Amino acid sequence: MTVLYSLPTNPDGTLKDPMPTWRRWASLTVLSVALLTVVMDLTVLNVALPSISAELTPSATGQLWMVDAYSLVLAGLLIPMSALADRWGRRRLLILGFAVFGLASLLVLWADSTAAVIALRALLGLGGAMIMPTTLSMLRVVFTDPHERTLALGVWAAVSAAGAAVGPIVGGLLLEHFSWHAAFLVNVPPMIVAIVAAAFLLPESRLTAAGSLDLIGSVLAVGGVATLVWSIKEFGKHYVADGFANPPAWIGLIGSAVVLTLFVMRCLRRPEPLLDVRLFRRPQLTAGVLAALFSMLAMGGGLLLLAQWLQLVEGHSPLQAGIRLLPFAVGAILTSIPARNLVDLLGVRVVMGMALLLPAAGFLLFYLAPAPLAYPWVATAMLLQGAGAGALAIGSAMIMSGSPQDKAGNAAAIEETAYDLGNVFGVALLGTIAAVAFNSKIPVDVPGADESLAEAMEVARQTGSAELAAIAQTAFTDAIAQVGIVGAVMLAIAGGIVFWLTPRGLDLDIQH
């Protein structure tokens, strides 16, 4: 006798008979809790890093790798892991991902060096890559009714967007009472619950006719995507000092372009490709991918800048700053969950256009807000930026309805990659714009002060210069205003493109 829940499936991985209603929504709860834990890990380390640095004294490069190891491994493995789930079994890989993520979080008790923390972050990225696309493709299996599935995807999108905003709160709360190890250990209980619940609630699903896993294609996908993410991060980190004169970043960018081109060519030639890139010929799928990319760009860039503003300009503790970032999560919930009802009322094209214009309006508020910038204006802007998760919700439904059932894993991998790249682009692009604007207003005769707001405040503390602190805080606030106008224009253009790509009269209840 086995405890694993089992239902007969078709060759394309769909269920022959629908699951009971209570089991479907219980499955969504399990997947959402696991997804929330994984997404929170993208931001929680930013809060814990000062405590880790104080104990382990890593080099500047070591600190960067502690932060980057997770996202690099996660982004690189999304496509291969999704393909593996299609062939090996989605529930099986999901449970293994839960176990890897939980084990990596538990091993922090023995992490006593910078290298150990970096290795654990990479292992967490591996577990996250098993979990994130599989939760999305599993929703396609569990929710066979398109209308119900769109609502479930709205919950998924709200959790995805809100998790990044909740991470700093959880991290700040834990660090006020425990050591930095707690920022990792908090992942263990949800993963244990997820393993047990998944075994009892989720059906197994795989593509019985899928070919063998393309190992060469997997290597190309991992190398190309991870190198692309690294090169973007590298440009952003060193732009203030080096501008575009950054040979390693250029080598990485050119190398990633070559490798990804080879990957696409290989996928076009193979009868059972690792990723069916022909799916991008479908306008609704491409529109959904762009919506996911730009909605997360708004969230990622906004979180980066406003977390610093709240702590270093407004003087709040990490926990207080995390609580004040909650409008991001509130905005995501307000648009993601009722997104299906809005589609029924207004149509897909209108909702998608509005969903990206809302965060554009949020960015514009930074530019239009009277000086000095006050929190009510910031909270309103965050609410609007978080509302972009509505685009993520409907974009998910467009991607899933715009791909055949046997390509559900491919569609999930494409969306999750867009989601992760959107966050990376937001941090790198908007962070770089803010850094350049900040750098231009800091006195050049104060060594180190022009590198970042944190460095300027540390120099001001060491020298006792209240004037430098005031200049740095004003310069950073002005930089947010400059980011506001750039972000507003970028999101408005993206909204127009998504509106144009979305077919007129698109019905999400029909598989296209």
**Widest distance between CA atoms in the chain:** 75
User: Under the phi-then-psi rule, with left for phi > 0, alpha for psi from -120 to 50, and beta for the rest, what region is 235?
Assistant: alpha
Question: Residues 93, 134: contact at Cβ < 8 Å?
Answer: yes
Q: How far is CA 87 from CA 25, 212, 213, in A?
A: 25, 8, 8
pLDDT at 297: 83
DSSP class of 473: H
Domain spans of the chain? 21-213+274-501, 214-273
> How many whole angstroms separate alpha carbon 266 and alpha carbon 80?
14
Q: Is 116 within 8 Å of 110 (Cβ atoms)? A: yes
What token pair was written down for 43? 């931001």
Q: Kindly report the number of other CB atoms within 10 A of residue 266's CB atom.
A: 18
Q: Are 87 and 273 in contact (CB under 8 A)?
A: no
This prediction has a pTM of 0.81
Instruction: Report CA Rg, the chain.
Output: 22
Measure Cα distances from 509 to 111, 151, 227, 283, 441 in Å.
49, 12, 38, 17, 53
CA distance 140 to 38: 20
CA 399, chain centre distance (Å):
17
Instruction: Judge: domain 21-213+274-501, CATH 1.20.1250.20.
Output: yes
Along the 512 residues of the chain, how does pLDDT read in single tens digits? 344 555 655 555 556 667 788 888 898 998 888 888 888 877 777 677 777 877 888 776 677 788 778 888 888 888 888 888 888 888 999 999 999 999 999 998 888 888 999 999 999 999 988 998 888 888 888 888 877 888 888 888 888 777 777 787 887 788 778 888 888 888 899 999 999 999 888 888 777 666 677 888 889 988 888 888 888 878 777 766 677 778 888 999 999 999 999 999 998 888 888 888 888 888 888 888 888 888 888 887 888 788 888 888 888 887 788 888 889 888 888 888 888 888 888 888 888 888 889 999 999 999 998 888 899 999 999 999 888 877 777 888 888 777 776 676 677 778 777 877 787 777 778 877 887 788 777 776 666 666 667 777 777 777 777 888 888 888 888 889 989 999 999 999 999 999 999 888 777 766 65
